[in-house]
Every structure is written in structure tokens, then in C-alpha cells.
């Protein structure tokens, strides 16, 4: 019995099984370490700015030297090589700062309609970046990113105004309409009525209607855009009537009419068929046809009139307006 008690496992006490939680370790923040990180970031930014200014000074110096070589009428090969150096430095400055164009274009695209492509904004902004590289003066106490962003935004706005056929006054009124609508929605808690918008803007209902019509004209939609909600997902070009020429139905009808006329001409008597062919296809006059057939002009005219009458009667009969066929002359 004593031996069995000695072999029983020793059970831990409640205190040993559930030890008290350890005391939380206090995390001490080191302000000095934060200052070191901030100082390091500032130093890196200053170093990058100094490197960029050094590159701009080198660009300006090489441009002045290039102009001097052209003024002194130096050797063409020397001028060409020096121009390549200038262009290489300029290209490096542009490549280093392309990110500014993407940043400005992305910010501006947020407030523009979906019809305006982001890639188009970037393309227009590149012209602003090139202009900024050409005109930036590193001796001024301004950083190039700040200067370039203004130029890039201006180039994009100029391109948007050039491609926008709506007058600026319409755009200003549209902005006022949008601001008034938003303010009324916030204050009323619901979409405002036209009367409330007119009172807010101080305009008459007719003027508000005219403004909306002008705004509707400025909306762009691609003819290739497809209405996915519609049946068959047809595009706008499929629903627009083509007025540049005869449509497919008219083309088929004209082709069928030519075939019928050709068959009816072949059914005419030989003399009438010959007169029709010489007059309408060979473009001969009545006198010339008379000489060919050995008859007078008046006889040619009679034969032509009879042939045309016969064709008209037969075509009318084919269209459901049957008429008695005249006797052959």
C-alpha cells in the first residue's frame, strides 16, 4: 500500500496550476530615437534636392556652352556632340521626375468625368514637365517638385480647355448648379426640387432648363460604347442612321431594279433595244443613231418613245399596277 502511494503522480496545487499573470512590461519610447529617424529622412531629402539642383546647374551650363558654340560657328560635329550631351542631361531630368506627372494626373482625374482618360492627362502633363525642366532656375529658393507641379497642372488644364467646346461661362454655371444642389441636399436631407434650386441660384425655371440643355450637349459618349443592359449589347453606332449614302435596303432595291430593267430591255424588239442601248449606254444623239440605223431623227425619237413607254408599263405591272401593254410600233 505504501508502495502504491509512492507511485501516484504528484498533483500540482491550484496556485501552481494557475499562476498569476505576469506584470505588464512598460514600453518606454525614446524621443531621441524618433528625432534621429526624422533627421535622417530630412537629410536624405536635402541630399536628393541638392543632387537635383546640381544636375540642373550642369544642364544650364551645358546649354549656355552649346549656344556659345553655335554663336561662334564651331565645327558641326562638335556642336552635334555637345547637343547630344544637353539632350541626355535633359532626358535624365525628365525621367527622374515623371512620378510628379503621374501624381498630379491622378489627383486631377478624381474630379473629372469618366470620359477623360488618365493616360491622356499623363501625356498632357509631360509637356508641362518638359517646360518646367527648360525654365527652372536652381538658384531660386524653391524646390523643383513644387515648381514642376504648377507647370504640369497648368499644361493639363490648358489641354482640357482646348478639347472642351463648351464655353467657360457654361462650365462656371454648371459648377454653381452643382454647389447649390449639394448644399440643398445637405440642408433638406433629400434631393431638392427645381423650384428650390431656382430660388437658391436666383434664376428663373426657363434659365435652369436652358442650363441643363447646354450641359447635356457637353456629354461625350463613344459610338463604340455598348449598352450591356440592353438586349444583345448593341452599340450606339448600330442605332444611328447612316446618312452618308444609300442604306443597305436602298442598295438592294436599286440592284434589283437594275436587274429587272435589264431583263425587260432584252425582251424589247430589236430596233427598240438598239435605240435604248445607243442612246442611254453609248450616249449617242438622235441624229447619230439615225445615221447608224439609216432612218430620220423623228423616227428614232418615235422608236425611243415607244420603248420607254413599253418599259414603263411593264415595270408598273411588276409593281402591282398592271396596265394594258401597247401595240408594237
pLDDT at 1: 46
User: Would 227 be classed as within a structural domain?
Assistant: no
Q: Please indicate, yes or no, whether residues 91 and 109 belong to a single structural domain of this protein.
A: no
Nearest to 139 by CA among 47, 46, 56: 56
Q: Please indicate, yes or no, whether residues 103 and 79 belong to a single structural domain of this protein.
A: no
Joined together, the cell numbers standing for residue 57 give 546647374
Joined together, the cell numbers standing for residue 158 give 490648358
Instruction: State which residues form the domain around 310.
Output: 255-318
Joined together, the cell numbers standing for residue 42 give 530630412
Q: Please indicate, yes or no, whether residues 260 and 286 belong to a single structural domain of this protein.
A: yes
Sign (positive or negative) of CA dihedral 156, 159, 161, 165 = negative
Contact 305, 326 (CB under 8 A): no
In tens digits, what is the pLDDT along the chain, a chain of 329 residues? 444 445 454 454 555 544 555 555 554 555 554 555 556 777 777 777 788 888 888 888 888 888 888 887 778 888 888 888 888 988 999 999 999 999 999 999 887 877 688 899 999 999 999 999 998 888 888 889 999 999 999 999 998 888 766 677 777 888 888 889 999 999 988 888 999 999 988 989 898 888 888 777 666 666 666 665 555 566 666 666 666 666 677 788 888 888 888 888 888 888 888 888 888 888 888 888 888 888 888 888 888 898 888 888 888 877 765 444 444 44
Half-sphere exposure for 92 (CA within 13 Å, toward CB): 14
pLDDT at 175: 83
pLDDT at 3: 47
pLDDT at 98: 93
Q: Which CATH number covers residue 259?
A: 1.20.140.160
Q: How far apart are CA 212 and CA 216, in angstroms?
A: 6
pLDDT at 24: 53
User: 96, 124, 139: which is the final residue of a domain?
Assistant: 96
Tally the domains of the chain.
4
Q: Please indicate, yes or no, whether residues 45 and 71 belong to a single structural domain of this protein.
A: yes
Amino acid at each position: 500500500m505504501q508502495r502504491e502511494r509512492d507511485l501516484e503522480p504528484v498533483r500540482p496545487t491550484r496556485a501552481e496550476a494557475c499562476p498569476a499573470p505576469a506584470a505588464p512590461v512598460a514600453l518606454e519610447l525614446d524621443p531621441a530615437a524618433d528625432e534621429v529617424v526624422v533627421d535622417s529622412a530630412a537629410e536624405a531629402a536635402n541630399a536628393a534636392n541638392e543632387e537635383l539642383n546640381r544636375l540642373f546647374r550642369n544642364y544650364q551650363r551645358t546649354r549656355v556652352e552649346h549656344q556659345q558654340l553655335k554663336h561662334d560657328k564651331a565645327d558641326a560635329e562638335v556642336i552635334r556632340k555637345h547637343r547630344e550631351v544637353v539632350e541626355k542631361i535633359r532626358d535624365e531630368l525628365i525621367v527622374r521626375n515623371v512620378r510628379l506627372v503621374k501624381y498630379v494626373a491622378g489627383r486631377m482625374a478624381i474630379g473629372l468625368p469618366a470620359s477623360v482618360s488618365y493616360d491622356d492627362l499623363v501625356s498632357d502633363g509631360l509637356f508641362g514637365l518638359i517646360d518646367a525642366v527648360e525654365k527652372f532656375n536652381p538658384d531660386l529658393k524653391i524646390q523643383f517638385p513644387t515648381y514642376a507641379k504648377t507647370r504640369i497642372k497648368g499644361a493639363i488644364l490648358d489641354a482640357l480647355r482646348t478639347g472642351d467646346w463648351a464655353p467657360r461661362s457654361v462650365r462656371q454655371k454648371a459648377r454653381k448648379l452643382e454647389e447649390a444642389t449639394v448644399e440643398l441636399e445637405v440642408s433638406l436631407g433629400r434631393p431638392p426640387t427645381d423650384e428650390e434650386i431656382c430660388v437658391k441660384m436666383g434664376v428663373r425655371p426657363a434659365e435652369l432648363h436652358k442650363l441643363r440643355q447646354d450641359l447635356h450637349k457637353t456629354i461625350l459618349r463613344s459610338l463604340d460604347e455598348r449598352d450591356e443592359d440592353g438586349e444583345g449589347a448593341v452599340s450606339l453606332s448600330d442605332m444611328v442612321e447612316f446618312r452618308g449614302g444609300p442604306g443597305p435596303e436602298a442598295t438592294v432595291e436599286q440592284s434589283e431594279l437594275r436587274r429587272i430593267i435589264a431583263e425587260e430591255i432584252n425582251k424589247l424588239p430589236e430596233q427598240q433595244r438598239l435605240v435604248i442601248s445607243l442612246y442611254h449606254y453609248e450616249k449617242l444623239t438622235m441624229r447619230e443613231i439615225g445615221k447608224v440605223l439609216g432612218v430620220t431623227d423623228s423616227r428614232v425619237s418615235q422608236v425611243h418613245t415607244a420603248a420607254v413607254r413599253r418599259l414603263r408599263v411593264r415595270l408598273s405591272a411588276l409593281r402591282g399596277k398592271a396596265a394594258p401593254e401597247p401595240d408594237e410600233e
